[in-house]
Structures are given as structure tokens and as C-alpha cells.
Structure 1
Amino acid sequence: MLRRHHTWYLRLRVPADLRHIAGQYVVRSLKTGDRSLAQARAIGLASSFNGLWMDFRKKLAEQLKAYFDGERPKGEMVSFIREHKAEIEALPEDAKTAFSSWMDMVITRTVSERDDLKEGRDQTYALTDMWKTARHQGVVEGMERAMSMLGNNLPRDVPPAPEKVAGHPECSEPWPNLVARFHEDNPGQSEKTMESYGITFRQFADLIGDKPLNTITKQDVKSYADWLKDKPSKRGGTLGRDTIIRHLGEVKFFLKWCVQSGLIEDKGFADVQARARTQEEKKTRQEDRRRAFTETELTQIFNSPLFTGYKSGARRSVAGSCLTRITDFWFISVLAMSGARIGELTEAPAELYDLEGILCLDLRQAGMKTQNSPRLVPVLPQLKSLGFLNYVDRQKSRGRMLMEPPQGAITAEGWSKRINRYLQDIGLTDNNLVAYSFRHSFRQMLRVSELNMEIINKIFGHETGSVGAGYGANLSRAEAQQFIDRVKFPVFLGGLVDTRGGFL
């Protein structure tokens, strides 16, 4: 237990096999300042969480049990595999081999029972992918115990995995000729993703040339990984490991598509890995590279020239007498009080959604375009007090997007650079403070609000992958009201309250 502001909280460590779904810890308020009462409530709450975690393990085991009992057809098994692909790929490495044995049996049964060669091959490939992932990355810790609870004993003698069903002759076209088909089969990629793939494919072509697809080897992919390892970075030094993983992953995903499309045989492309992290990278965690603003830093931002008076549009960070609230004013304010991503705001419409009387930022279409979680974010009272509603009405009447300046739209990358420059100009020179830091700060606001974690994830735009997350996924009015009542911006903005109709 831990105590915050005279209230006791229970802090539970999530089991290792479920942390990719529920996070490392679960913190819940015990809603009392009395230690004895808090201890009693903590015991009951901890027991309920342990029950939920075991239920999740049992759910995975029950899927396999139902299949072998003939209660679930193979098609549903494959659907289950695809639906939980993210969870499967995130399974811990220190796992047991039980699940791998079950997959061997599933594959064997699938092949032996299918008369239709094509359908049998498709089913086999899908199940084989899952089996390989389970074997390489491990299985959920505790799976064997869950299976034993269901009365299932794993067979000691498991038939070997079958030979891969022969496909069509391998494709001998130059591999770049297939890139267009690859993108057609993977629609919905953002402009940024397409640009990244373009860079990757140009680099790969420069290295191996326009080889026929069927002559690409595992060594070609390894050569690309080594080339990335030594490639100079524009910022000095060599490429970071995360960048290497992204480019190498795009090549491997393309080759995986080629294999799944029956164009070539799998030659172990997925086994090629990026270089290990350097000592410096190991010391630098993600949260160290981007951190939230402190309350002092937020105060510094909202007391800076853009909010209190600036010289001119071109000199926004220099103190002056101009008080017009330009788009930069609103972009930073909305970032700070909504947790929206920059790409979402650049795509958001200049029209708020009325959720039964509660006005919300409408990030539903923006989320789809930017490959993020489409959602509604209620407008906080502090943001309204700045004259935000008047600003929205003016943008809508002029036919502009929510964050479109009079001179024309700015890209997400352009806004990111623009805001980062402003932060540097007003004295926030810590390299860990960037425009994205507003999202970190907003997450902290949500943590201290004591909102239900499901409501937090709905508004923040995080998909947990938990079993119950798909039920009641839309934000309700009651949930929106809780958000407005409990979430408070940590900095006093009384001096910025709009008394002039939004500073035209």
C-alpha cells in the first residue's frame, strides 16, 4: 500500500506474462485515510485481481481445449489466432514448451483432415505462423497450470510438424516490381509509413540491385542489417537501434508478404536481427528521451510571449504588445489539455461533437487517418475559459480545419518543429522536452484524477488488448462527465481567461 494526499492506494505488480496487456503495475484507490480499513480493503481487492488474471490464462487454454474436443472448428481457431496476434507476438521469452506441443498437434490435424489442398494450405500456414512465434518467443507463463486445471494432460509423444505443402513455382520477377502489389494488399498505410517504406526499398535496391525475387537470400537481408548498422546518422554517429529495427522490419515484412502470397519459399528471413543496443542506448530509456513538463515548466510556457503578448507573428517568442490569439496559441493549449497527438490535431475538423450536452474534440476521423485510436476527448472547462469555443466557431465559419492557420495548413511534422523551436526560444532547452511532452503531461493529469483505467484509455487513445476492452468502447456521457469533474490542469490560467470574445 502507499499513501497520497491522506488517501491509501493499493499498488499491485502485474504477473510477468500479462504486463504487455495490463502494464507493470495496477494502482487503485482504497478510498480511505484509515490504515486498518485500507488494509482490509486491500486484501479483498488483491484477491479479485488475482482471479481476473487467472481467468485470462484459462481463456487462452480453453480455446485449445474446445478445438480438440471438436467444439470449435478450425476456421474459428485461425480467427482466434489472428484476433490475438499482438498478444501472441508479445509473449515472454522465458516460457515453457507446452503451447508449442499443442500447435504441433493442431497443424498435424489440420493437414490430415483437409481434402481441399488450397484451403488446407492456407489454414496450415496461419497456424504454422502462430506455432513458430510461440516456439521462438515463448508461451504465457502459467499456461501448463491453467491446462491442468481444465483436466488436460499434454501428450508425451507429439507427431512431428508436417512438411510445408508445395506451392506454385517461385516468382522470378525483379523484386521491385512487386512493391506496388505489396502496398495494395496492405491498404490504410499513413503517408509517413509510405515514405518510410520508400526510403527502405531504395536503400535495399541500392545494396542488392533488382534481383529476381526467388534469388533473394537470408544473407541479403543480413547484409542490409549490417549496412544499417554502419550507416552514418545525419545527427552524427550511426543510426539508432530503433531506426535500424524499423527499416529492417519493413524489408522483413515485405518478404513475409511474398512468402504468404506463395511467391517464394521462406528462407528464414525473420531470423535476421538488428544489432544489439549499445551501452549508451541501454542507459537511455524511452521515458528519459521524452518526459513530461513539470508544473514550473508549464507555468513558464503559459507565461511566455505567445500567451501574454508577443512582438509579431514572425517573432512569437519575443515579448511585445500583440495579443491576437493565433493558431499557435490554440495548438499548444489544446495539446496541453487534451493529450491529442500532433498528427491528430492537424487532421481534426473545426466542429466539436455534442455528447448529450458535453462538447468533445472529435478525433474519430483523424485517428483513422493517422493510424491512431479514433476517439472523443471532452473539452475541459479550463480550455473553454480561454475562449476556445469562439475560436472553433470562427474556424468553422471560415471553412478551415481546427488547427489551420489563415496562411494555409501546416503538416504534422511542420507543427512539431514549430512548437519545438518555440520551446527552445523561451528557455526550455532540455532536449527531453518536445511537443510530444504535452501528451506525457496530460497522461500524468489522468493518473492523479482517480478515473477508471478504461475511461483513461478511451480518452487517451490507448488500446490495451484486454478481453473487456471491446465492450462499451464508445465514450458515454457519464464517463465524459467524470473526466470533466476530475481532471484538472495543474497550472492556474486565470490571467488568460477570455473576456474579449476570443481575441479576434
Structure 2
Amino acid sequence: MPAPWLMARTSGLYCRVFVPADLRPHIGQRFLVRSLGSRDRDQARLLAARYALAIGDLFRQLRQELSMAEPNIDDILRTLKSGNARDLIRVGRMQLPNGAVVEGLEVDTPDELESVVRQASAFIAAAAPSVVPTANGKARRLESHGVVVSKRVPEYLEYLNSRHPKYIAKAERVCKMLIDICGDLPPDDYEPDVIDQFVKTIKFLPPNPEKNKLHRERWARMSFLELAKDVESKGLKQASETTVKDHITQLASFFSFCKGRRYMDEDSPLAKRVAKSSTGTPQELRDPFDSADLQQIFDPVLYQSRKLPHTFWPPLIALFTGARCNEIAQLYLDDIVNDSGSDPKRWRFMIRVGSGRTDQRLKNKFSNRSIPLHPRLIELGFLSYLDDVRSLGFDRVFPSLRWTAAAGYGDTVSDMFSAYLRGKVKITDPRKVFHSFRHYFCTQAKNFTDEKSEWISDLTGHAREGEFELTYARELFYENKLRILMKIPMPQIELPIYTSGKFVPYLKATKERKASQAKASPAVKAARAKKRLGTTKAEKMPFTIKASRKPVRETAKGGD
């Protein structure tokens, strides 16, 4: 087949075909140029290819005739010279058995037309909607529409396997909520009134039931429906509006998955609800601390109650770096480096995933960065603390923190800080949490420095935009980062200073405990795990329970 060349002219798209040298004396032209009758480039490319195929066939016929003793080439030359592209392509029209009409079908021969129409008829018959009767009388087009939610959840979780483990755990949890509260039904059977009841019920679920030391063992034996009724009847603290919206969004994602896989025929029952709740909702779910907050948090007398390394240092590091909670909690000693032999203060935090370390994670690719160690942290004795940790043979900065697949090492740090913030500091605003240190750092950098936002992002690990930033520019040098860091104003408050050896007794106890755990038999480890869970039937719990030390009094709804 000769290669077609597509040309654009003011009158439309044309096809140009090169005439072979041996046929030029008979045709009298070097090229054949014909209108394709279309301005659509995709359609024109297809027409040009078919035209070239037809021209190639005519070239072969012409050569065959020229090889004859008495060649008859007039009809072939007339067709080559006068016919346009569409004249050389047959257009068929046929009515299918189901009444549908196929027209404008481009083929070369009548036999090809009938073959194509036969295949189209078979395809239409196979794709015709079929009604599958069900036990409850609801008609379904496909059998797959009748499969209940519990059978779809494993495939949905497998679909999410590239997401953060914490996100996957939330997705599984909200699907269990749906089944517990509304029953295990096919996705199409969750009518709007059923979903309304689901939303009304989850508003009475308690916040973090696995962390409620007074009720968690009793709640662990309840379904989500029973749990909501218990909270409602006793007037206990309910889930926040943000948590409820998060549950709804998670469930909407599951229904979208089912719709995309054709596991349901109707639209998602939560689609309009999620779209409505997202409009006008502020993206910012956390507020920064202000100067008065920080004065209270780091009050020299009050802060002395922070008697553990992972309660003392992470808030200070977050204040002076803007790093995320888990980024701080997962640090190893070799993540804090000084690669300058001439400057003993040239230390950096390396926010990264170390080689072969499966217990470290980053939020996104921009999170991989270095942050200069603020001189104030050095003044507060952070390097002395690192020496204490290193002298006992630990490799992690906060060795007593326990890792979980869902939250890494940061869960304990965040929880203990929240308890301190609400209980002792008396800051009860739910929008102020550990992450508020990061908001404070970013707000200060934006309002009180004249640096470019993309340069500040090199410190904070936020996403960068533009080809220059994403493709060509690399991370800022240490000197530039330190210059920016020192421009960011920090609160003028008295901060607690670490004295060398302060946490050594606790670190030694941690080392002994880890050695004992390493030597324990599998049976002892299993018993300890059951003790931490507080029950021997952990596999039946709707949530995971952690160990408690002292019972606390439950506050009624609206309390601190």
C-alpha cells in the first residue's frame, strides 16, 4: 500500500499519494491528490488510509493489465484520475434484525459489508439489557448487581492497596458501619431513606472509641449500631461534624468504585450529598496556634510534666521546623546529620525513608527534604539528648514509640500531646491540635518573610508547581534554607532547657523492656497482646483497643 500524506487546505483536508516511477508515463502525474470530504483529522486519517489501500489495489491492476499482450487500462486510468477518495470506498446500508439501521458504513466490498453487519448484530444482541429477577422482587439488569456489600469489600480494599494504610483502615471501617447499621445489601438497595438513617446514626458514634479507657472494653463487644444507641442514651460525647463528613466521603468512594465496576446500576446514593457538603466547606480543618497558646503550652512550670522524650521534644521540633508529627516521630539518629567538618553547628534533619526501612513513610514525593536544625533547638539541649540516646545503643531518636501499620510512630505522640493540650493547658478548640504547630510555622513564614512560596515549600515539604520547579530546579542549599529559617519569627517566650542525662533512666528502662520482649516465647507474646487488647476476642471487635494504665472518669457530652 502506498503511504498516504495528509494535507490541510483552506477548503478542507486532502490526501496525497505518490505514484510509482514505472506507472508515471501512463498516469501522467507524480502525485494523486484527492479531497477527503472531512475536516475532522481523526476521521480524515482513517479515510486517507482506506483511500491509499484502494489506490494500491488499482496500481496492482494497472501493472497486471500492462503485462498483457493487449492491455485495457482506460477504465483504471479514468478511475485513478477522476475519482475522489470516497468514490473508491463503498458505503453500505442495512437494517439489523432488531430494527436498527446501520448506514454510512465504509467497506470495500458487499461481502465485507454483510460480514460487518453480522458481527454488529451479534454484538447488539449480546449487549442487550437482561432483567435478572431477585428474591425481594427488585429487578436487576445484571446478576452482578445483586451481590451484597460484604462480598465487594475485599475487592475494594485490594483496589486501594496503593493508598496509605490508615486510609485503607478507614475505608474498611466505614463499610462495616454500613453493614452493621443498614444491613448487608446489594449497593443498589441502599435507598435514600436508608442512607439518611445511616447518617443520622453515625452522628452518635463516639470519637476514638478504642481510646476511651472507661468504656472501650464494653464497646468492643458491640456493633456500630449498638454503640451509637449506647452513646445516645447516656448522653456521651459524639463524633465531630468533621468526622461524620469524613465517614460519608469514605462511603461515597466505595459506591463510586461499585458504579465504576458496574456492580450497581443506579447512581451512588451519596453523590449529591458529598457534592453539597463539599461546596462552601473550608479546606483548612486546623487552625494555627497563636502567641498566647504557645505561651501556655511551653509554660516552664507546666511543661516540666512532660517527663518522656516523645512528649518533651516533638512539640519543640515542630515549632522550629514545621515538620509533620510522624516525620518527627519516625526519625533515626542517622537522619540527623552534620556533613561539615568545619562547622559543628551545621546539623540537618533528613526527612526521608531510609534504605531498607519499612517503618518510615512520607506523605508525598515533595516531603523528602532536609531542614536545618534551628540554633534554638541546639541551645535547648537537643544534641545532648541525642548523645544520651546514642550512648545506650539505640538507633531511633524516640526508641520507646510503638509502630503501627495505620499510623506509623506518630499516633502516640499526637494522642499524648492532645491529652496535655486539653487536660492541662486547657485549650479545648478542636481545630487546634499537634498539626497546629505546622500551621503556625507556615503562617509565620508567609506573613513575616519576603521569600518565595516555592522556597518555603522546600522547608515545609509542600507540593511545588511548574516545569522549572518540578523538572530542573533542585532543593535549596543548606545556607539558603538556614537563612530563610532564621527569618521566620518565633515567639518570644521562655522555653524549657534539657539537662544532659534527664531521660537516661527512662531510656534504660526502655532498653530493658525491649530486651525482655525479644526473649519472650511466642505464647508470652500472645498473652501480652491479649492483655493490651483487654479481651481474648479481639478478632470480633469493630475497632482495636490499646492498653490502659489508670481508669479515668468519662465526661458527659460537652465537657472537657
Could you state the TM-score of these two structures normalised by the residue count of structure 1? 0.53
Supply the distance in 2 between the matched residues of 1:407 and 1:200 (Cα, whole angstroms): 25
> What is residue 332 of structure 1 aligned with on the other side?
315
Q: In the alignment, which residue of structure 1 is the partner of 2:163?
A: 189
Match of 2:397 in 1: 402
2: CA distance, partners of 1:226 / 1:274? 16
Instruction: Kindly state the Cα deviation for residue 466 of structure 1 after the two structures are TM-superposed.
Output: 5.1
Shift of 1:356: 6.0
The answer to whether the aligner puts 1:443 opposite 2:442 as a matched pair is yes
CA deviation after TM superposition for structure 1 residue 304, in Å: 2.5
**Contact 2:384–2:500, Cα closer than 8 Å, also in 1:** no
Q: Which of 186, 199, 202 matches 1:228?
A: 199
Counterpart selection for 2:416 from 383, 406, 418: 418
Aligned 1:81-480 pairs, distance under 5 A = 171=144, 172-212=146-186, 216-217=187-188, 219-220=190-191, 223-231=194-202, 232-234=204-206, 240-265=240-265, 267-269=267-269, 271-274=271-274, 290-305=286-301, 310=304, 316=305, 326-352=309-335, 354=337, 357=340, 358-365=346-353, 369=361, 371-372=363-364, 373-376=366-369, 377-396=371-390, 398-405=393-400, 411-431=409-429, 432-447=431-446, 448-463=448-463, 468-472=468-472, 474-477=474-477, 479-480=480-481
Between the aligned partners of 1:247 and 1:347, the Cα distance in structure 2 is 28
Q: CA deviation at 1:384?
A: 1.9
* CA-CA distance at 1:241 after TM superposition: 4.4
Question: Which structure 2 segments of 5+ residues have no match?
Answer: 1-11, 14-39, 48-123, 130-141, 208-235, 341-345, 505-560
Q: TM-score, normalised by structure 2?
A: 0.48
Look up the SS of the partner of 1:369 in the other structure.
coil
For 1:362, what is the secondary structure of its paired residue? strand
Residue 286 of structure 1 and its aligned partner are, at CA, apart by: 7.2
Is the Cα–Cα contact under 8 Å of residues 188 and 264 in structure 2 kept in the other structure?
no
Question: Once superposed, what is the RMSD of the aligned Cα atoms?
Answer: 4.5
Match of 2:102 in 1: none
Residue 482 (structure 2) aligns with: 481
Letter in 2 for 1:340: A
Q: Which residue of 2 aligns with 1:490?
A: 491
The C-alpha deviation readout for 1:206-250, integer Å capped at 9, x for no partner, is 3453335xxx22754663254213432437687554333322222
What runs of 5+ residues in structure 1 fail to find an aligned partner? 1-68, 71-105, 114-162, 311-315, 318-323
Contact (CA 8 Å) 1:344, 1:363: kept in 2 or not? yes
Instruction: Report if aligned partners of 1:445, 1:488 keep a CA contact under 8 Å in 2.
Output: yes
CA 1:423 to 1:304, structure 2 compared with 1: closer, same or farther past 3 Å? farther
8 Å CA contact retained: 1:225, 1:274: no
AA aligned to 2:441 is F
Q: Match for 1:257: what amino acid? A: F
Letter in 2 for 1:371: K
Cα distance in 2 for residues equivalent to 1:226 and 1:167: 36
Q: CA 1:211–1:470 in 2, change beyond 3 Å: closer, same or farther?
A: same
Cα offset for 1:361? 2.0
* C-alpha distance in structure 2 between counterparts of 1:348 and 1:190, whole Å: 19
The letter for the 1-side match of 2:153 is: V
| Cα pair distance change 1:198/1:422, threshold 3 Å | same
Cα distance 1:170–1:371, how it changes in 2: closer, same or farther (>3 A)? farther
Residue 28 of structure 1 aligns with which residue? none
- What SS class does the counterpart of residue 361 from structure 1 fall into? strand
Correspondence list, 1:15-54, <5 A: none
TM-fit CA distance, 1:202? 0.9
User: In the aligned structure 1, how far is the partner of 2:200 from the partner of 2:274?
Assistant: 8
The 3-state SS of whatever aligns with 2:349 is: strand
1:350-401 per-position Cα deviation (integer Å, ceiling 9, x unaligned): 3235486453322222997353552322221111222223323443553343
Q: Distance in 1 between matches of 2:128 and 2:257?
A: 15
Distance 1:498 1:403, change over 3 A: closer
The share of aligned pairs that are identical, in percent, is: 18
- In 2 relative to 1, CA 400–428 (structure 1 residues): closer, same or farther, beyond 3 Å? farther
Aligned length: 328
SS in 2 for 1:217: helix
Distance 2:402 2:159 in 1: 38
In structure 2, what residue type is equivalent to 1:182? Y
Aligned to 1:17: none
Query: How far apart are the structure 2 equivalents of 1:486 and 1:466?
Result: 26
What is the Cα deviation at residue 330 of structure 1?
Answer: 0.9
**1:167–1:337 distance in 2 versus 1, CA, 3 Å:** farther
1:69-104 residue CA offsets vs partner (Å, 9 max, x unmatched): 99xxxxxxxxxxxxxxxxxxxxxxxxxxxxxxxxxx
CA offsets, 1:400-430, max 9 Å, x none? 4333338999953332221122234543434
Separation of aligned partners in 2, 1:167 and 1:262: 15
Whether the 8 Å CA contact 1:363–1:374 is kept in 2: the answer is yes
Alignment-mate amino acid for residue 326 of structure 2: G
Q: Which amino acid aligns with 1:299?
A: Q
Query: Rg bigger for which structure?
Result: 2
SS at match of 1:365: coil
1:253 partner SS: helix
How much has 1:200 moved relative to structure 2?
Answer: 0.8
Q: In the aligned structure 2, how far is the partner of 1:227 from the partner of 1:203?
A: 8
Report the CA distance shift for 1:229/1:301 in structure 2 as closer, same or farther (over 3 A).
same
User: Matched residue of 1:351: which SS?
Assistant: helix
Q: Is the 8 Å Cα contact of residues 390 and 502 (structure 1) preserved in structure 2?
A: no
Give 3-state SS (helix, strand or coil) of 2:333's partner.
coil
Q: CA deviation at 1:453?
A: 0.3
2:402/2:409 contact within 8 Å kept: no
Counterpart amino acid of 1:438?
F
- How far apart, CA to CA, are the structure 2 residues paired with 1:167 and 1:399? 67
Contact 1:451–1:482 (Cα < 8 Å) also in 2: no
